[in-house]
Amino acid sequence: MTVKALQLVTVLVALALWELAARLNWVDPLFVPAPSAVAPALVQIGGGALAGLADTLGKTALAYVLSVVLGVAAGIAVGSVRLLRDVLSPYVIALYGIPKILVLPWIVLLLGYGTTPAVFYGTLHGFFPIMVLVMGAVRDVDRTLVTVARSLGASTWQLYYKVLLPAIVPSVLAGMRLGIVFCLLGVLVVEMFAGLRGMGHLLSSFANGFQAPELFAATALVSAASIVIVLALDHLNEKLSSWRG
Amino acid sequence: MKVLGLRLALLVLLVAAWEIAGRTMNPLLGVPPSAVLPALRDLLLLRSYPDLPASLALTVREIATAYALAVAAGLGCGFMLGMHRLVGRVWGPMLAALYAVPAVVWYPSLMLFFGLDAASKIAFGFLLGFFPVALAVLAGIRQVNPQLVVVARAYGAGTVTVFRRVMLPAMMFTLVGGLRTGLALCVIGVIVGEILGSKAGIGALINHAYGLLRTGDYVALVLVTLILVVGSDVLASTVERRARRWTE
């Protein structure tokens, strides 16, 4: 309880200091507008910003579904076949590690502006962390469980379905929690770099137009949306893990 | 041995596929490896981009500044939150919540505030590098066995001794991992910043090549940037191994 109250106090004090700094001209209000100027801007950009947010979140959802499905499938396939894992894992780690922004210009040349490059790039961002986590989890499944299941006559299908899948559920959930932020990041970057719609495009056009209050309002909107999404996933995660026991 | 051979075979196969695909594609879009090599030679001989060394130096300077700031602030903030129970419980979750926001949403504001020059890239690299360092300090402090601290104190160890002899060795593993992630993210932050909008630095060159559809030069520039990225990580992992050996 005190923790919650103190967190609220922190936010309020920060807002008050920010307002004060802008009012007393410690910072140039042209670049850092006071909260009292951002709030009306939020109302003013309301409809357009919500449409942009919906557009961004739609692309993110598509990219997210793709990266979870592909990432989990690839993680299980590569993780459970020893030879595949040994040969591919350095490539996977390297692809996971390199900054994907370097291939973004080429993706845009290839796929053009708009939704397709955003979904593709978002998927690229979300896929690797999920795959790497699932791959590791499949590798670390207790060998004894596999041996026992085999010796009790489990078929390959049963082995995957009854032993492997339940064992990797926590890692899949962790990957899903990590993946959503990566997908959203990827989509926003494409929208900033080569977007026609969406929050990323809106943010960079506000910045280019020196519309600081609108820019701050839009930034706050996206941040709030992503915090809500992540907290909701965390909540779901806790529910599921208490259900699993 | 067999695995190594298969890895190599896969690499050769990929390069061959790239070569075939690159030749059949529109030359403005597809650049086969046989076309990348001349472009890379021109780039390294400073024929296509004579300001490559200056741009690389600027990017490295931006990364170094951003990383130094991120480490200083991350360590300071992490220890402040980790040493005081209440402060940690109040601000820790807020820090984690901010970390959940894709950092790129802050970049337009940073660009507006700091301008198109190096400062906005440093600020963005700092922002990306700060969180893993701070969160690693927090996680590291949680790993220290409190009984060890009590025992050390009971034997008359001062705060500095407790920190140096008990806490630091226990935290080292997590802390160094966070410092390495922080560096990788600083590098990415600076490069992302430069590509999204800049007048100088390696990212500006990449954007220039892309904008003029000089795809061969673009691929060569990307390869040079990759050397920078991989080099920084090799450096970080060397330091990481040293630090871990010191702990043992």
Give residue-wise pLDDT tens across range A172-226.
888 888 899 999 999 999 999 888 888 989 998 998 888 888 999 999 999 999 9
Does A106 sit within 8 Å of B113, measured CB to CB?
Answer: no
Answer whether residue A90 shows pLDDT above 80.
yes
Chain A nearest CA to B41, separation (Å): 20
The gap from C-alpha A210 to its chain's centroid, in whole angstroms, comes to 28
Share of chain B above pLDDT 90, in %: 34
Q: Residue A145 has what pLDDT?
A: 86
Mean pLDDT, chain B, integer: 88
Token pair 């005081």: residue: B84
The gap from C-alpha A92 to its chain's centroid, in whole angstroms, comes to 19
CA distance B61 to B57: 6
Q: Residue A198 has what pLDDT?
A: 87
Chain A nearest CA to B230, separation (Å): 8
* Chain A residue numbers touching B218 (CB-CB < 8 A): 105-106
Does B218 sit within 8 Å of A193, measured CB to CB?
Answer: no
CA distance A224 to B102: 11
For B191, the 3-state DSSP assignment is: helix
Does B112 sit within 8 Å of A10, measured CB to CB?
Answer: no
Average pLDDT value for residue range A97-116: 88
Q: Residue A244 has what pLDDT?
A: 61
- Sequence-separated (6 or more) residues with CB below 8 Å from residue A149: A158, A159, A162, A163
Lowest mean pLDDT among A66-75, B54-63, B151-160: B151-160
Task: Report if pTM > 0.90.
Answer: no
Please choose, from the candidates B75, B92, B74, B72, the residue with its C-alpha nearest in 3D space to the C-alpha of residue B84. Answer: B92
What 8-state DSSP symbol labels residue A34? -
Chain B nearest CA to A153, separation (Å): 31
More confident residue, A94 or B186: B186
Please choose, from the candidates A125, A119, A130, the residue with its C-alpha nearest in 3D space to the C-alpha of residue A57. Answer: A119
Please choose, from the candidates B177, B178, B184, the residue with its C-alpha nearest in 3D space to the C-alpha of residue B228. Answer: B184
